[in-house]
Structure 1
Amino acid sequence: MALLYLLPLFYIIFHLYKWVLQKRGQCCYMLAYECYKPCDETRRLDTESCARVVWRNKKLGLEEYRFLLKNMVSSGIGEETYGPRNVVEGREESPSLAEAFSEMDEIIFDTLDKLFARTDISPSEIDVLVVNVSLFSPAPSLTSRIINRYNLRNDIKAFNLSGMGCSASVVAVDLVQQLFRTYKNKLAIVVSTESMGPNWYCGREKSMMLSNILFRSGGCSMLLTNNIALKHKAILKLNCLVRTHFGSNDEAYECCMQVEDQQGHPGFRLTKQLTKAAALAFTMNLQVLVPKILPLREQFRYVIQSYYENRIRKSTSSTKPEAVLGAGLNLKAGIEHFCLHPGGRAVIDGTGKGLELDEYDLEPARMALHRFGNTSAGGLWYVLGYMEAKKRLKKGDRILMISLGAGFKCNNCVWEVMKDLEDPNVWKDCIDRYPPKSLANPFQERYSWLNDEYLSFVRL
């Protein structure tokens, strides 16, 4: 008789043990990350160097100059961002394949060298390699270039992601997490950057000139693992990740796209529908993400408030982005820090307003945009680096990463801080100066004469 009672008990214990082992294998820890900062200060794009790049474009007229002045002043970009070498040196109209490879090598190899040195992990120990560069996909791939450089193992699982936009970094992390569910006790490298040099726009279409104002050189390499034995070395643990693709909507699909203008100049077009697409995609993402990160009492409160907001919105036909997001969602009930994609001041302001975040929450994204610009998929890690350099990240804190990208995609994830983090990282040389007293751009002071009325009667 005793055996009859023990068999069900053993069965339950066995399946519990199996479930625990399965969960242990699905963990995703970050051991370290390294952001890129050029050693060559000649690549810095301050006001004067930016002006030189603009004046070189003989296709522009007074109207285009005024447009650039207005948007540069309001961009949130500072004086210390970095540009591609071929652009700084005046070769933006005739980029070469060799320069494209040189740009990628400099960013990728610099961050990987520092990552291996910091962690004492040998390249031969890496099991998975994921590289995301949207606008440059050579053959052999960039993953093959890394494998050749570091003599990585023959059985490495290598993936090269292209065309995924500014949110590609979270896509790459998700790919690693999915692989970790199948392969146990592995080490993975994720490299996130963008090829800026060959994709500098040299025409005069306003919606395509915006990318030159916002995008800058940068990138990051990360080391991830699901080996529970390395948990004590981890700085972050991935708690959840939600990906949303809004590409079925034509406006959203076309709001952020690589195209050619009427004169055949290639570039990246950003339309006025971008903020609306971002708000809608983010709202769809939150519907899945919120139940995973907020306590039940906050979810219940939000559902009730959203019901009444929807009724009001239908009666007023409101289409404002902040109305779509839904005011009153208190993400702080489950999140301590917000790592927003530093895509531009309008994106940061819109997200902050929609989620009712204060200036303390938005400061890391604003400062990353000001110091390094929009570095595409690598941008999130400069924001995270700012939080760490400011000693904000304490053990047990939760960080919400919000990324938006072409397609249109919204990919968000939540990390848990595994230990107090205080490394000044890529911010080491300037963190004491941030936040600055003013984010005003010198373009306003030095080139405000472009708005003088008398210039309307002359040709520049």
Structure 2
Amino acid sequence: MAAQNTSPSYHKQPNNLSFSDQLKTYTKLVISKSVYLFIIPAILCAPIHHLSALYFDQTTITQLYKYYANGRCSFIVGFVSLSSLLMGTIYIFTTIVRRPRRVYLVDFACYKHDPSFLISRDSICRRLETVVSPESTEFCRKVMEKSGVSNNVFVYGWNQFPPKSAFDCGRGEAETVISGAVGDLLAKTGVNPRDIGVVIVNISTFNPVPSLSAMIVNRYKLRDDVLSYCLGGMGCSAGVIAVDLAKCLLQVRPKTYALVMSLESPTSSYYVGDDRSKHISNCLFRMGGAALLLSNRYSDYQRSKYELEHTVRTHHGADDKAYTCAFQEADDEGNLGLSISKDLTAVAGKALKANIAALGPLVLPISEQLLFLANNMVRKLFKIKGISPYVPDFKLAFDHFCIHTGGKAVLNEVEKNLNLTKWQMEPSRMTLYRYGNTSSSSIWYELAYAEAKGRIQRGDCIWQIAFGTGFKCGSAVWRALRTIDPARADNPWSDVIDHFPINVTN
């Protein structure tokens, strides 16, 4: 979650760890990959001369044994070869035995908005004029004009703004989005709700009793032993957190499905006061949600769209500035709203850099990691000035980028510091333009855009990154298991995709 016209202060170096910590990270990486770097080459190279001689002399394996036993081969070479073979066998065996269950994304469905929820910017401002001062209304108008969001957006409940009951309005929005997204997902996958063993709902500002996860259990009559969770107050990064939780649960509960529902209900927390720091939510946050069906069944490999490769979470909540930079509280008149502090820029940048630093060793090619390590050694160990920090090229690791639509300025900063192309930023910018900030579900509308454009090919790697209150940042890395036919994408972009991209000038 991010405020309009504020952007994380990223540095060129996507790492805030000390040199010693960086050295430990990359040393652990080299050791963990030693089977590939040293053992396998030793197995192949040590006896190659002798094996070639045996081949051309048409000798036998028995003769090879005598060759070693009679001391005609160096004892050291023989010992290294046999030891490497043994170590390699043990490594491969333990890797297979201890390998966690694979987690597949069978399919996902973004809520497809009803046209009746479409409202213009002018209509929003006219409604605001009835409850806030003219100065606050003009402030909101300027923020929306510069936000990179379309003049017409999908908003729930603005025809009766301010609502008589924010709670009832929030429940109506949540039920509308959940029933639309989950209903579409079950229809697309054909999965029997009774086969779902895990249900996770993430929503920040609206948490009724019974929970929204219980509402799903009740609506679709899930089985009695279903594991049900509702994650509240975790901001725009909660979608990645929900996926990470589902992955952990699928590791201990075999042969089952996990249903993840990511949404927000902005109508439950419309701000009607005159504190400008709390008007950002009225200007940016919009209606939306996405439902995912995850599986750990090997039989679902053939029909699944993606496989989850990594989830990385970083949290800076121990720091007081990070904890309070986006804080829900009441103003002096008792009106509840989300306050954005001046520390948000620095906090968001720090969280994003820490997450990238943790993700880099898992996904970057070894060449990029070594270049990054060498650059740090030259600059910090040898104290050589005038050398710029090396920025790893994440385009070598990922084919598609789904960056949370926290705001136009945030996307500009990410594009600049990761050196991304306009094509790579297109799904994020178009999602911000058409839907605004749909919180945790924005990264799924972006992936749906890439599918509708026919960009997803088998083997492609997708990076979803989101950040939110707390303050935290999360990344999810997916591998496409098949090429997505845009004619069968069946998502909210399908009917309008030919009109995009649009040149956003505001």
**TM-score per shorter chain, which class?**
0.7 to 0.9
Structure 1 18/129 Cα, relative in aligned 2: closer, same or farther at 3 Å?
farther
Cα distance in 1 for residues equivalent to 2:276 and 2:344: 15
Alignment of 1:271-286 (within 5 A): 271-286=341-356
For 2:82, the equivalent position in structure 1 comes to none
Q: CA deviation at 1:359?
A: 1.4
Determine if the alignment matches structure 1 residue 34 to structure 2 residue 34.
no
Q: CA deviation at 1:153?
A: 0.1
1:419-446 CA-to-partner distances (Å, cap 9, x unmatched) read: 111215110222111111x3245xxxxx
Cα distance in 2 for residues equivalent to 1:306 and 1:385: 38
Q: CA deviation at 1:14?
A: 9.2
Q: 2:399 aligns with which of 332, 336, 345?
A: 336
Letter in 2 for 1:244: T
Q: Is the 8 A contact 1:305 1:328 kept in 2?
A: no
For 2:119, the equivalent position in structure 1 comes to 45
Q: CA deviation at 1:199?
A: 0.3
Query: Once structures 1 and 2 are overlaid, which stretch shifts more, 124-133 or 245-254?
Result: 245-254
For 1:434, the equivalent position in structure 2 comes to 500
**Percent of aligned pairs sharing the same letter:** 34
Determine if the alignment matches structure 1 residue 20 to structure 2 residue 96.
yes
Q: CA deviation at 1:98?
A: 2.8
Structure 1 15/280 Cα, relative in aligned 2: closer, same or farther at 3 Å?
closer
Cα distance in 2 for residues equivalent to 1:11 and 1:274: 50
Structure 1 186/13 Cα, relative in aligned 2: closer, same or farther at 3 Å?
farther
Q: Is the 8 A contact 2:204 2:234 kept in 1?
A: yes
SS of corresponding position for 2:449: helix
Structure 1 68/11 Cα, relative in aligned 2: closer, same or farther at 3 Å?
closer
Alignment of 1:235-250 (within 5 A): 235-250=305-320
Determine if the alignment matches structure 1 residue 379 to structure 2 residue 442.
yes
Point out 4+ residue stretches in structure 1 off by more than 4 angstroms.
Answer: 9-19, 306-311, 313-316
Cα distance in 2 for residues equivalent to 1:387 and 1:346: 22
Cα distance in 2 for residues equivalent to 1:295 and 1:13: 25
Letter in 2 for 1:60: S
Structure 1 16/183 Cα, relative in aligned 2: closer, same or farther at 3 Å?
farther
Alignment of 1:301-380 (within 5 A): 301-306=371-376, 328-380=391-443
For 2:162, the equivalent position in structure 1 comes to 91
For 2:13, the equivalent position in structure 1 comes to none
Q: Is the 8 A contact 1:29 1:226 kept in 2?
A: yes
SS of corresponding position for 1:180: helix
SS of corresponding position for 2:410: helix
Q: CA deviation at 1:151?
A: 0.7
Cα distance in 1 for residues equivalent to 2:443 and 2:380: 32
Structure 1 200/309 Cα, relative in aligned 2: closer, same or farther at 3 Å?
farther
Letter in 2 for 1:374: N
Q: Is the 8 A contact 2:402 2:427 kept in 1?
A: yes
SS of corresponding position for 1:426: coil
Cα distance in 2 for residues equivalent to 1:440 and 1:53: 26
Structure 1 236/217 Cα, relative in aligned 2: closer, same or farther at 3 Å?
same
Cα distance in 2 for residues equivalent to 1:339 and 1:51: 30
SS of corresponding position for 2:309: strand
Cα distance in 1 for residues equivalent to 2:384 and 2:324: 26
Structure 1 10/307 Cα, relative in aligned 2: closer, same or farther at 3 Å?
closer
Q: Is the 8 A contact 1:255 1:274 kept in 2?
A: yes
Q: Is the 8 A contact 1:168 1:377 kept in 2?
A: yes
For 1:61, the equivalent position in structure 2 comes to 134
Cα distance in 2 for residues equivalent to 1:335 and 1:192: 24
What runs of 5+ residues in structure 1 fail to find an aligned partner? 1-8, 317-322, 442-460
Determine if the alignment matches structure 1 residue 157 to structure 2 residue 227.
yes
Q: CA RMSD in A?
A: 2.6
1:360-411 CA-to-partner distances (Å, cap 9, x unmatched) read: 1111111000001100111110111111111111110101111101000100
Q: CA deviation at 1:205?
A: 1.0
Query: Once structures 1 and 2 are overlaid, which stretch shifts more, 350-359 or 96-105?
Result: 96-105
Letter in 2 for 1:428: S
When Rg is computed on C-alpha atoms for both structures, the one with the higher figure is: 2
Letter in 1 for 2:448: G
Q: CA deviation at 1:272?
A: 3.3
For 1:446, the equivalent position in structure 2 comes to none
For 1:227, the equivalent position in structure 2 comes to 297
SS of corresponding position for 1:138: coil
Cα distance in 2 for residues equivalent to 1:309 and 1:66: 49
For 1:5, the equivalent position in structure 2 comes to none
Q: CA deviation at 1:351?
A: 1.5
Cα distance in 1 for residues equivalent to 2:316 and 2:384: 22
Letter in 2 for 1:439: V
Q: TM-score, normalised by structure 1?
A: 0.85
Q: Is the 8 A contact 2:121 2:152 kept in 1?
A: no
Q: CA deviation at 1:65?
A: 3.7
What runs of 5+ residues in structure 2 fail to find an aligned partner? 1-84
For 2:459, the equivalent position in structure 1 comes to 396
Letter in 2 for 1:43: F
Structure 1 120/165 Cα, relative in aligned 2: closer, same or farther at 3 Å?
same
Cα distance in 2 for residues equivalent to 1:439 and 1:362: 13
Q: Is the 8 A contact 1:80 1:372 kept in 2?
A: no
Cα distance in 2 for residues equivalent to 1:291 and 1:340: 20
For 1:420, the equivalent position in structure 2 comes to 483
Structure 1 314/99 Cα, relative in aligned 2: closer, same or farther at 3 Å?
farther
Q: 2:215 aligns with which of 145, 158, 175?
A: 145
Q: CA deviation at 1:18?
A: 6.6
Query: Once structures 1 and 2 are overlaid, which stretch shifts more, 99-108 or 216-225?
Result: 99-108
Cα distance in 1 for residues equivalent to 2:428 and 2:260: 21
SS of corresponding position for 2:311: strand
Q: CA deviation at 1:48?
A: 2.5
Q: Is the 8 A contact 1:390 1:424 kept in 2?
A: no
